[in-house]
Amino acid sequence: MKTKEELAIEYCEYTVSKMDDETVRKIAVINLLANIDQETDIATWEDYVAQMKGLHNAEDLLELIRPSMLLRENNGG
């Protein structure tokens, strides 16, 4: 039997597989914005923006802003 989390992941993966690239990108922006720590100051965001052009893949860009993201721990189900 699948856990609630596994079912949610299955649903989300299937839904995303039906989307075009533009829709996926818009949802990614919304998701990132929803997970930004509102306590991060403007100077930090100015620094991120100043560094972003020097990074060439999404993983590096996400790692840069990781300290300013609200990350939830995966509790295994």
The pLDDT tens digits for 6-30 are: 999 999 999 999 999 999 999 999 9
Please indicate, yes or no, if residue 14 is contained in any of the structural domains. Answer: no
For the segment 35-44, the average pLDDT, to the nearest whole number, is 96
Please give the residue range of the domain that contains residue 59: 21-68
Please indicate, yes or no, if residue 76 is contained in any of the structural domains. Answer: no
Please indicate, yes or no, if residue 59 is contained in any of the structural domains. Answer: yes
Number of domains within the chain:
1
Please indicate, yes or no, if residue 74 is contained in any of the structural domains. Answer: no
Please indicate, yes or no, if residue 29 is contained in any of the structural domains. Answer: yes
Please indicate, yes or no, if residue 40 is contained in any of the structural domains. Answer: yes
Q: 76 pLDDT exceeds 70?
A: no
pTM reported for the whole predicted model: 0.74
Please indicate, yes or no, if residue 49 is contained in any of the structural domains. Answer: yes
Q: Are 34 and 72 in contact (CB under 8 A)?
A: no
The band of 77, judged by pLDDT with boundaries at 50, 70 and 90, is very low
C-alpha 33/C-alpha 31 separation (Å) is 5
Q: Name the one residue in this structure whose structure tokens are 């914005």.
A: 33
Please indicate, yes or no, if residue 8 is contained in any of the structural domains. Answer: no
pLDDT digits (tens, 9 = 90+) for 57-73: 999 999 999 999 997 65
